[in-house]
């Protein structure tokens, strides 16, 4: 669930016709002063972070004068919440509140309907209200085909004895909140408190909306960087990983850092799962052996080898890890040789320096393990491949043993070399990269192993050299599946003439920065 900041959530409400206090977003004390002047004091200043209970941690303050607003702002802007600095404040007019209410909409997974929750008491968390004043709460499940017109809201509010002007205003607000919820593809939309002022007006004093990750593509207006559940802004590496996912619809790639900089003493490993359930099970297995996971990664849904390769490169951009563990459910339906090829290419390029245990059970696991074994001699560190009959606990145990025996104890992140095409290059674009063949080397090749390796029949031999058997356009549109088979076959049996270039924008710079910081 992608969270929005309070000011963004309020913008959605405002556009739907719900009243919000006059306010401005500021990023400096000076701006806060100006804002306070414009809006008129007293004002309230609120830190804009993705955390509940801001008041308890001192993130909500009042100011009687613009000068005071400036002073308060400089305090608030220096705050750190969950390791991240507060960068934005919302300065709002302070209102004379007569009464506080609660209105929220969530999705009831079992009814498969949005559920409106309304409480005639607000200000505190809805769980607390439910506990202490259950009589104050009404709920209503909404059929999306019927919607939530005002008369339905009136029926509901009648139960809580609302009357007259308040009843009419409230039902209008609830109906509008539902429309905003639907229109913004929200998972949660909560106004708390919803305030009735001394003048009898309704205002959304605080609001919290989260957007469905899978619908973020329909809402460029929210400027969501990473459509995922984070309780903190994404890290740089996460942003790099997310770009990979964004550009390649084949399969899923998810990358989440559990720790900013892994400390080797605490036994962090790079974790590469496949599939939600299998990943969690595999994570349990390593955690219960006293390891910690530096990151959580999932490549699943039949991803191409290129995606697995990029995932491995990103995992190996974490200095300080002491092992690499890849494991999914063990009986995957996806073609596991793709994972094997992606891993092997990445490990060779990275000259892997820490042991890796790769549990690639499932469809085509025999082929996957064969690939790992054929390439293990080109990888400096020990790698072991396992299949569906080897439980994750056993594999985690193997990793523990390899780490104990291993020479290198801690992973160092390597710099990424620039790609320079060879002189005799023949190349074609793929969906996310480029296949480059050094035709000069092919002159000495006796096997021409690249062509039969390409089961997608993308390559053919012309004048003794491999070239495209299909149009460049088709190759670029995904007919070349970036399975990496040709490159690896040529590496083993040919003249090492193929290089499949799969860029990861931003990774080179990221690694250079790491090196500088060291």
Partner 1 sequence: MAILVDKKTRVLVQGITGREGRARAKLMKGYGTNVVAGVTPGKGGMEVEGVPVFDSVYEAIETVGEIDASAVFVPAPFVKAAALEAIDAGVKLLLLVPDRVPIHDTLEIASHADRKRAKFVGPNTLGVLSPGKAVLGMIGGRPETAKKWFNIGDIGVSSRSGGITSAISYYISRAGFGLSTIVHVGGDVVVGLPHPEIMKLFEKDADTKMVVMFGEIGTTQEERVAEMMKKGELTKPLVAFIGGKAAKEGTRFSHAGAIVEGGRGSYASKVRTLKEAGAYIAESLMEIPKIVAEVRKEHKF
Of the candidates 352, 288, 358, the one whose C-alpha atom is nearest the C-alpha of residue 327 is 358
Q: Which residue from 425, 456, 469, 476 is in contact with ligand SF4, where contact means CB under 6 A? A: 456
Stretch in the footprint of ligand SF4 (CB under 6 A) among 144-152, 193-201, 271-279, 453-461? 453-461
Q: Does position 498 bind ligand SF4 by CB under 6 A?
A: yes
Choose among ligand SF4, partner 1, none what residue 45 binds, the Cβ cut-off being 5 to 8 Å by kind.
Answer: none
Q: Which residue from 459, 504, 507, 514 is in contact with ligand SF4, where contact means CB under 6 A? A: 459
Which secondary-structure segment (H or E) carries 276?
A: helix 276-287
Residues 6+ apart with CB under 8 A from 285: 327, 391, 392, 393, 395, 396
Q: How far is the CB of 322 from partner 1 (least distance, A)?
A: 19
Cβ burial of 56 (10 Å; 0-12, 13-18, 19+) is exposed
Give the separation between CA 357 and CA 466, rounded to whole angstroms: 35
Q: How far is the CB of 335 from ligand SF4 (least distance, A)?
A: 12
Peptide bond into 42 cis (omega under 30): yes
Closest CB to partner 1 among residues 99, 182: 182
Q: Does position 225 bind partner 1 by CB under 8 A?
A: no
**CA angle 411-416-420, nearest 5°?**
150
Alpha helices (H) along 376-418: 392-405
User: What does the DSSP 8-state code read for residue 413?
Assistant: P
Closest CB to ligand SF4 among residues 326, 437: 437
Closest CB to partner 1 among residues 25, 321: 321
Give the separation between CA 312 and CA 281, rounded to whole angstroms: 20
Q: Which residue from 454, 502, 507, 514 is in contact with ligand SF4, where contact means CB under 6 A? A: 454
Q: Which residue from 441, 469, 470, 492 is in contact with ligand SF4, where contact means CB under 6 A? A: 441
Closest CB to ligand SF4 among residues 106, 437: 437
Stretch in the footprint of ligand SF4 (CB under 6 A) among 196-204, 372-380, 449-457, 501-509? 449-457
Stretch in the footprint of partner 1 (CB under 8 A) among 323-331, 349-357, 368-376, 425-433? 323-331
State phi, psi for 505 to the nearest 5 degrees: -55, 130
Which single residue is written with the structure tokens 């053919």? 460
Q: How far is the CB of 358 from partner 1 (least distance, A)?
A: 15
Q: Does position 312 bind ligand SF4 by CB under 6 A?
A: no
Q: Does position 445 bind ligand SF4 by CB under 6 A?
A: yes
Q: Which residue from 227, 346, 494, 514 is in contact with ligand SF4, where contact means CB under 6 A? A: 494
What is the per-residue binding string for partner 1 in 113-142, x denoting contact by CB under 8 A?
xx------------x---------------
Q: Does position 425 bind partner 1 by CB under 8 A?
A: no
Q: How far is the CB of 285 from partner 1 (least distance, A)?
A: 9
Give the separation between CA 474 and CA 456, rounded to whole angstroms: 12
Residues 6+ apart with CB under 8 A from 377: none
Q: Does position 235 bind partner 1 by CB under 8 A?
A: no
Relative orientation angle of helices 392-405 and 276-287, to the nearest 10 degrees = 50
Give the separation between CA 210 and CA 185, rounded to whole angstroms: 9
Q: Is the Cβ–Cβ distance between 20 and 13 less than 8 Å?
A: yes
Choose among partner 1, ligand SF4, none what residue 92 binds, the Cβ cut-off being 5 to 8 Å by kind.
Answer: none
**Which tokens in the block code for residue 191?**
């106004």
Of the candidates 97, 69, 502, 64, the one whose C-alpha atom is nearest the C-alpha of residue 306 is 502
Q: Which residue from 358, 442, 502, 514 is in contact with ligand SF4, where contact means CB under 6 A? A: 442
State phi, psi for 247 to the nearest 5 degrees: -90, -10
Q: Which residue from 38, 112, 131, 462 is in contact with partner 1, where contact means CB under 8 A? A: 112
**Which tokens in the block code for residue 498?**
């193929």
Cross-strand bridge partners of residue 410: none
Q: How far is the CB of 278 from partner 1 (least distance, A)?
A: 4
Stretch in the footprint of partner 1 (CB under 8 A) among 112-120, 157-165, 262-270, 464-472? 112-120
Q: Does position 331 bind partner 1 by CB under 8 A?
A: yes
Cβ burial of 122 (10 Å; 0-12, 13-18, 19+) is buried
Closest CB to partner 1 among residues 72, 334: 334
Q: Does position 227 bind ligand SF4 by CB under 6 A?
A: no
Q: How many residues bind partner 1 (CB under 8 A)?
A: 62
Closest CB to ligand SF4 among residues 241, 500: 500
Q: Which long-range contacts (CB under 8 A, 24 or more apart) does 283-291 make?
A: 284/392, 285/327, 285/391, 285/392, 285/393, 285/395, 285/396, 286/325, 286/396, 286/399, 288/393, 288/396, 289/396, 289/397, 289/399, 289/400, 290/400, 291/267, 291/323, 291/396, 291/399, 291/400
Q: Which residue from 68, 92, 238, 298 is in contact with partner 1, where contact means CB under 8 A? A: 298
Give the separation between CA 291 and CA 105, rounded to whole angstroms: 40
Closest CB to ligand SF4 among residues 6, 495: 495
Give the binding site for ligand SF4 (CB under 6 A): 435, 437, 441-442, 445, 447-450, 453-454, 456, 458-459, 466, 480-486, 490, 494-495, 497-498, 500
Give the binding site for partner 1 (CB under 8 A): 1, 107, 109-110, 112-114, 127, 143-145, 182, 185, 187, 212-215, 217-218, 228-229, 231, 249-250, 252, 254, 256, 274-281, 283-284, 287-288, 296, 298, 300-302, 328-335, 362-364, 388-389, 391-393, 478
């Amino acid at each position: 669930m992608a969270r929005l900041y309070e000011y963004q959530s309020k913008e959605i409400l405002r556009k739907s016709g719900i009243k919000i206090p006059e306010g401005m977003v500021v990023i400096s004390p000076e701006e806060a002063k100006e804002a306070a002047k414009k809006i008129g004091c007293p004002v309230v200043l609120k830190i804009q972070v993705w955390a509940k209970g801001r008041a308890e941690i001192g993130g909500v303050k009042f100011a009687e004068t613009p000068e005071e607003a400036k002073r308060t702002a400089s305090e608030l802007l220096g705050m750190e919440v969950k390791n991240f600095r507060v960068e934005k404040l919302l300065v709002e007019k302070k209102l004379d509140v007569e009464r506080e209410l609660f209105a929220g909409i969530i999705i009831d997974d079992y009814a498969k309907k949005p559920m409106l929750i309304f409480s005639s008491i607000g200000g505190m968390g809805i769980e607390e209200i439910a506990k202490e004043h259950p009589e104050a709460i009404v709920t209503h499940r909404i059929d999306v085909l019927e919607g939530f017109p005002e008369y339905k809201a009136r029926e509901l509010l009648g139960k809580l004895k609302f009357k007259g002007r308040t009843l009419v205003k409230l039902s209008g607000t609830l109906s509008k909140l539902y429309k905003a919820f639907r229109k913004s593809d929200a998972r949660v939309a909560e106004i708390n408190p919803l305030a009735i002022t001394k003048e009898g007006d309704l205002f959304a004093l605080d609001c919290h909306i989260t957007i469905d990750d899978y619908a973020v593509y329909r809402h460029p207006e929210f400027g969501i960087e990473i459509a995922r559940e984070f309780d903190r802004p994404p890290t740089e590496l996460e942003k790099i990983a997310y770009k990979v996912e964004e550009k390649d619809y084949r399969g899923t790639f998810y990358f989440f850092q559990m720790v900013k900089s892994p400390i080797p003493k605490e036994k962090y490993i790079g974790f590469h799962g496949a599939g939600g359930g299998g990943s969690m099970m595999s994570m349990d297995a390593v955690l219960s052996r006293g390891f910690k996971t530096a990151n959580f990664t999932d490549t699943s849904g039949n991803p191409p080898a290129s995606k697995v390769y990029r995932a491995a490169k990103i995992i190996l951009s974490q200095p300080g890890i002491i092992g690499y563990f890849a494991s999914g459910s063990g009986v995957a339906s996806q073609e596991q040789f793709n994972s094997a090829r992606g891993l092997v290419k990445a490990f060779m390029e990275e000259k892997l320096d820490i042991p890796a245990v790769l549990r690639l059970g499932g469809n085509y696991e025999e082929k996957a393990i064969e690939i790992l074994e054929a390439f293990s001699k080109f990888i400096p560190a020990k790698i072991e491949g396992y299949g569906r009959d080897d439980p994750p606990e056993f594999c985690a145990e193997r990793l523990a043993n390899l780490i104990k025996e291993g020479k290198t104890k801690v992973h160092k992140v390597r710099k990424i070399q620039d790609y320079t095409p060879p002189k005799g290059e023949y190349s074609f674009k793929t969906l996310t990269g480029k296949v480059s063949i050094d035709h000069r080397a092919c002159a000495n090749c006796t096997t021409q192993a690249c062509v039969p390796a390409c089961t997608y029949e993308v390559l053919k031999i012309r004048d003794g050299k491999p070239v495209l058997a299909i149009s460049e356009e088709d190759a670029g549109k995904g007919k070349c599946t970036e399975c990496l088979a040709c490159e690896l076959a040529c590496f083993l049996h040919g003249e090492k003439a193929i290089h499949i270039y799969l860029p990861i924008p931003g990774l080179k710079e990221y690694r250079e920065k790491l090196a500088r910081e060291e």
